Structure 1
Amino acid sequence: MKKLIYLLTTCLLITMGYGCSKEEKIGLTVDPNAPAPTQVTDVKVKSQPGGAILTYKLPVDPNLSYIKAVYEIRPGIYREAKSSIFTDTLTLVGYGDVQEREVKIFSVGKNQKESEPLSMKFTPLTPAILSAFETLKMNPTFGGVSLNLENIVRGNLTIKVIVDSTGLNTWAPVNAFYTSAEKAYFAARGLKPVERKFGVYLEDRWNNRSDTLIKDLTPFMEELITKETFKEVKLPGDTYLFVESYSMPRIWDNKFQYNIFATPHTSSMPQWFTFDMGKKVVISRFKEWQYHENVYSGSSVKRFELWGSNNPDADGGWNNWELLGRFNSFKPSGSPQGVHTQDDVNYAINNGEDFEMPVGQVPAVRYLRFKTLETFSGGKQVVITELSFWGQVVQ
């Protein structure tokens, strides 16, 4: 009896396996003699910045596998776009100009036979690489050159800075920056205050390249201010109390991650702290690093003021203080709170937010007062990872 049951079970499994195998083969059968599918119909083209969106009606053909578009983005450089039989849309990308273009659309069968091409002509809208270049500005800044642009279509762009290293049109790379933000600001630093010819151009991910903006510029003189002489000053009204071991001196120790200054949640707002740089400095710019767990959120500083003095009021007052500048945190991506990109992380956490002082308008000061007006959470705790300053030491 057991042998009979075993035999029947074995036969049943073999039969099921054969049936499944046969069914799978039937489902994958391709007729090599089937003609190519007919062309798509009712094609509509909607131009986009640097591309286009094609919509169409699919042919009714059991042999149809997918739709393919072939197009030339630059002389000799072709791209393909494909879409399945479950959609009626093709997206074309990669154009770097606004010239009239041609795209050829093919219906492709399961046997890889292609229909005759259906040709359509259109003109892409202005691509990001051209619209952004029209807004591109390059100017001298402290220790280098600054770059500003508007990227209204939020294209993925590379900004490349070059310099004539010999004065004989021998161009060498200085730095490259990457952005997809609507507005972008970068500065190429570490350059000597010597007049030279600088250039800047844009590239996109399809290797399209803009013209080159060339200017004779002289970077402003500056140096990194050493922090060995920095020390905290405790004045009436200041918020110098801290949570656990996260005291004020941590913001000038050149250490990051969890090495932060964190004030208590019970502090008031606005709040400020004071420190002595140990020498008089004309500040040209400074960086503030956000806490890596609060990227444009939580207790990170959103709005603040920087004040300077050479003789702080002993009672903690403001009579002997001068406002050096009001500043707002800048988020490269422009995304809403709670959402951040790698551009945001690089700027606020890895590189530090960059704040520039007005040229020629900042006095030499020894004492600084950092006044927080608002954090991203709207709470009363302030957390700062590090502060660094550049400028010229006067005394």
Structure 2
Amino acid sequence: MKHYFKYIYISILLITIGCGCLLSACKKNEGYNTEPVSNDKTKPGVVTNIKVDNYHGGAYITYDLPNSDNILYVLAKYQINDKTARETKASYYTDTINVDGFASNKPYDVTLYTVSRANVMSDPVKVTVNPDVPFYKLVSPTIEISTDFGGVNIKALNLNKKEVGVILIAMDNSTKALEVNDQHYTNADTINYSVRGFPAVERKFGVYVTDKFGNISDTTLVDITPLFETQLDKTKFTVYKQPSDSQIGYGWELPYLWDNKVDGYSNGWHTQPGTGKPMQCTFGIGVTAQISRIKVYERPLEYAFFHGNPKNFSWWGATKESPADVVLPQSAPVGTVVGDWVNLGNYRYPNPPSGLQPGFTNAADEKFVMAGVDFLVPASAPAVKYLRLLVHDTWGRGDAAHLMEVTVFGKPL
């Protein structure tokens, strides 16, 4: 028996040593190491036959390495703007180094060194690069700032789909200075969003563009008076049941949609399963109003991003008193008019902020749903007195839809 345990011990020891060797053998080789790996203190030779290939905001520098087995990497040192210095390294396995982040399209000096395995640097070699206009500066001239409900709308083009930050500054009444109010980071080719929360009084606004290197464009400044916006009075909302509206399920009648209860334990609006499409409801808002946004509260808790919560949907509106019923198309461009109804907007509910897959969401995602999500209505949309929600599909891909609450904002006429 003692020999039996001895053999087990030896086997475990051999497996442990073997695994250690495998882990050591599989260690990732980055191509260079900044720790000294040689005792050879000889100064390495310099790179030669240097060529420059410029691009927007940077340049590729190619070269020939000196004839030495002791080279570890090539180091480039350069200044990208008045405040920031950068360093870039390239392994001895390559003949090209990338320098980027330059603030402007003008000449910049780059200093190249070869570095040995003993961390000994060669003599410097200077080269001049002339980067093309950096991407953030290509976006800046396309900025458009216009008035919107409770704030401003910002549009710009980012045709190269590069990561940029669009920064809104606004005059602060307390500091009497332009302060950062919103930061919008994106790589979308078309930028179009609104920033709200301002009173309907004239104010100076500005927008500039930045990149991941901290470069900042010139600021576009405008004086704008935001459009007046208020929350519409829910006590004036009324059911406007139409023949094409969905049957109600589980006693979740339409008035629960505006009773200010979003906790997930109260009733909301729920269609009857098995009745198919359209999944929709229609109600009056009690006044004729220019709608600015509609805050949607989907069913939270275990239903977040699941079950009958709408994923893709449209809001339609009607101005006419007692608008006639009509079966609306499941797909139509914004502004489409069908009978007495006009398409105010087509929307998709955002994905879980956590990045988790629907059905595997966490408490933060549930909190996001509980807070409600604003869906903006274009300022060009007509004023309406009736609203119709048309659900195209749900997160659960079923044939029933449900919501806890809607809150409507706009300018009553």
By how many angstroms is 1:288 displaced? 5.3
1:78 partner letter: A
Instruction: Report the counterpart of residue 362 of structure 1 in structure 2.
Output: 382
Instruction: Report the counterpart of residue 184 of structure 1 in structure 2.
Output: 191
Q: Which structure 1 residue ranges, 5 or more long, are not aligned?
A: 21-27
Cα separation, 2, equivalents of 1:198 and 1:391:
22
CA shift digits 1:62-81 (9 cap, x unpaired): 32222211111013521001
Cα separation, 2, equivalents of 1:159 and 1:81:
27
Cα separation, 2, equivalents of 1:208 and 1:257:
46
Cα separation, 2, equivalents of 1:290 and 1:60:
68
Name the TM-score, length of structure 2 as normaliser: 0.69
Query: Percent sequence identity over matched residues?
Result: 25
Choose the corresponding residue for 1:172, options 174, 179, 185.
179
1:130 aligns with 2:140: no
Choose the corresponding residue for 2:287, options 280, 286, 294.
280
Instruction: Report the counterpart of residue 28 of structure 2 in structure 1.
Output: none
CA shift digits 1:190-240 (9 cap, x unpaired): 212112322222222322111111112111111122435545544322124
Cα separation, 2, equivalents of 1:326 and 1:186:
16
Relative to structure 1, is the Cα distance of residues 320 and 330 closer, same or farther in structure 2, using a 3 angstrom cutoff?
A: closer
Report if the CA contact (8 A) 1:285-1:356 is conserved. yes
By how many angstroms is 1:330 displaced? 7.0
1:393 aligns with 2:403: no
Instruction: Report the counterpart of residue 163 of structure 2 in structure 1.
Output: 156
By how many angstroms is 1:124 displaced? 1.6
Number of aligned positions between the proteins: 358
Relative to structure 1, is the Cα distance of residues 247 and 331 closer, same or farther in structure 2, using a 3 angstrom cutoff?
A: closer
Relative to structure 1, is the Cα distance of residues 198 and 63 closer, same or farther in structure 2, using a 3 angstrom cutoff?
A: same
CA shift digits 1:157-205 (9 cap, x unpaired): 3322223346997323333322232222222212121123222222223
1:322 aligns with 2:343: no
Cα separation, 2, equivalents of 1:50 and 1:362:
44
Cα separation, 2, equivalents of 1:257 and 1:72:
55
1:220 partner letter: L
Relative to structure 1, is the Cα distance of residues 52 and 379 closer, same or farther in structure 2, using a 3 angstrom cutoff?
A: farther
Report if the CA contact (8 A) 1:240-1:273 is conserved. no
User: Which stretch shifts more, 314-323 or 58-67?
Assistant: 314-323
Instruction: Report the counterpart of residue 317 of structure 2 in structure 1.
Output: 307
By how many angstroms is 1:150 displaced? 1.3
By how many angstroms is 1:99 displaced? 1.0
By how many angstroms is 1:140 displaced? 0.8
1:49 aligns with 2:47: no
Cα separation, 2, equivalents of 1:60 and 1:385:
72
Report if the CA contact (8 A) 1:329-1:353 is conserved. no
Report if the CA contact (8 A) 1:304-1:374 is conserved. no
The secondary structure found in structure 2 opposite 1:191 is: coil
Cα separation, 2, equivalents of 1:81 and 1:116:
17
Instruction: Report the counterpart of residue 85 of structure 1 in structure 2.
Output: 92
- Root mean square deviation of aligned Cα: 4.5
By how many angstroms is 1:137 displaced? 0.5
1:147 partner letter: I
Report if the CA contact (8 A) 1:288-1:385 is conserved. no
1:201 partner letter: Y
1:352 aligns with 2:373: yes
Relative to structure 1, is the Cα distance of residues 54 and 250 closer, same or farther in structure 2, using a 3 angstrom cutoff?
A: farther
Relative to structure 1, is the Cα distance of residues 263 and 69 closer, same or farther in structure 2, using a 3 angstrom cutoff?
A: farther
Instruction: Report the counterpart of residue 30 of structure 2 in structure 1.
Output: none
CA shift digits 1:23-51 (9 cap, x unpaired): xxxxx984444323333445443333222
By how many angstroms is 1:144 displaced? 1.0
Q: Which structure 2 residue ranges, 5 or more long, are not aligned?
A: 22-34, 329-336, 359-364
User: Which stretch shifts more, 171-180 or 309-318?
Assistant: 309-318
Alignment of 1:1-395 (within 5 A): 30-165=37-172, 170-230=177-237, 232-242=239-249, 252=258, 253=260, 255=262, 263=271, 266-277=274-285, 279-287=286-294, 289=296, 294=305, 300-302=310-312, 304-308=314-318, 311-312=321-322, 322-329=340-347, 352=373, 354-359=375-380, 362-365=382-385, 367-372=386-391, 387-394=406-413
The secondary structure found in structure 2 opposite 1:83 is: strand
Report if the CA contact (8 A) 1:241-1:264 is conserved. yes
The secondary structure found in structure 2 opposite 1:132 is: helix
